[in-house]
Structure 1
Amino acid sequence: MPFSPHTTASGYILPSIHSAPPFYTQQSTAQLQAPFTDNWIKIILGYARHRRLFTLRIEDAEVPGGDWDEVLRNPRINRRVQPQYLAYILSELVKRKQAVYDPPRQTRSVILYWRLPEEWAEVLHEWATNSGQLNTILTYQEITEPPVPSPLSNVPLQVLRQAIGILSKNGRAQTISVADGEGVRFFTGQI
């Protein structure tokens, strides 16, 4: 089988390396492993962005038909990522600050940063500005579960808190305690 890009059922284009059998096996030396790791990270983050997936777990390597199946398996060459190899890839994502373990103090599940917290901060502020929410107090739930889907729909609270923290530091947001928990008010510039 020649190596060529492949389009998944969800429309994501996997690069040709995804068809190489050695891609699914952790290599014996760091030098051999480095390009495979780089490619896995690009594929995982690109696919997560494409599908708006925020979490990747080691168990996902063993779930046929799950959210990650079309990336972690290649039935055309009868290969799949083994859980121990996925654990290594997750550790590399965390090392490169492209993911964080969630919950903390475990190594089986991560929140992926297919957008960095700084990028989420800009998306959040732009959404607040464009939707007329400046100087309005919003709960975190109103932001992540809006009545009309937005770029912030289903964003994990940890990512939302980081984005709000960044906006607070530069005077474009203020956290507020509200009856239902946490809230935030957005500003155009410095407070």
Structure 2
Amino acid sequence: MATDQWIRLILEYGRFRKLFYLQIDDCKTTGNDWDEVLRNERINRRILPSYLTYLMETMVARGFAEYDPPRQTKSVLLYWRSPDEWAEALHSWASSIGSLNKIMTFYEITEPEIESSLSGMPIPLLRKAIAILAKTNRAQLIAIPGGEGVWFF
């Protein structure tokens, strides 16, 4: 039960603060974005690295996170929105700004002139969302000069 509550708290806090990554080091150091959740100085308590490791393993096993970068267990990319939800948000956003049948760079999506729900989105998550849209023929990943882009349909 406590594990479920911790996972829910981490995901809700991540969504509220637009935090995409959680690392074991976040519970070892002060002054980071996760302090409010992982430590309580008033009562001299903090989450232990071993328990945070367990929480991260559980979130990965349940599909609420993935290890990023892959092949390590010290950092996770949080899915406070599922990749499917991000795909829908991405396509809706592209439609709302008139970018269907246009090519957009990853930079234009993750760092738009007018802030959006996609602002600051990590590239691995953006790639997953594009792959989901590609399976339903609503987007295509393409190579462009200087990097990659996406063509929305």
Same fold (TM over 0.5): yes
1:51 CA drift (Å): 0.1
What are the Cα deviations for residues 40-63 of structure 1, in whole angstroms up to 9, with x where unaligned?
000000000000000000000012
Which residue of the partner structure matches residue 45 of structure 2?
79
Which residue of the partner structure matches residue 68 of structure 2?
102
Letter in 2 for 1:42: R
Within a 5 Å distance, the mapping from 1:114-125 to structure 2 comes to: 114-125=80-91
Q: How many residues align?
A: 153
- 1:143 and 2:109 matched: yes
8 Å Cα contact 1:54/1:112 also seen in 2: yes
1:148 CA drift (Å): 1.4
8 Å Cα contact 1:117/1:163 also seen in 2: yes
**Alpha-carbon distance between aligned partners in 2 of 1:177 and 1:70, rounded to the nearest angstrom:** 41
1:66 CA drift (Å): 0.8
**Alpha-carbon distance between aligned partners in 2 of 1:162 and 1:175, rounded to the nearest angstrom:** 11
Q: Which has the higher contact order (CA 8 A, sep 6+)?
A: 2
**Alpha-carbon distance between aligned partners in 2 of 1:174 and 1:45, rounded to the nearest angstrom:** 29
8 Å Cα contact 1:139/1:180 also seen in 2: no
* Runs of 5+ unmatched residues, structure 2: none
Letter in 1 for 2:131: G
1:128 CA drift (Å): 0.2
1:75 CA drift (Å): 2.4
Letter in 1 for 2:39: R
**Alpha-carbon distance between aligned partners in 2 of 1:62 and 1:101, rounded to the nearest angstrom:** 19
**Alpha-carbon distance between aligned partners in 2 of 1:137 and 1:153, rounded to the nearest angstrom:** 18
1:76 CA drift (Å): 3.1
Which residue of the partner structure matches residue 59 of structure 1?
25
1:77 CA drift (Å): 2.4
Q: Secondary structure at the match of 1:124?
A: helix
Which residue of the partner structure matches residue 15 of structure 2?
49
TM-score (norm: length of structure 1): 0.78
RMSD between aligned alpha carbons? 0.8
Q: Secondary structure at the match of 1:76?
A: helix
TM-score (norm: length of structure 2): 0.97
* Runs of 4 or more above 6 Å deviation: none
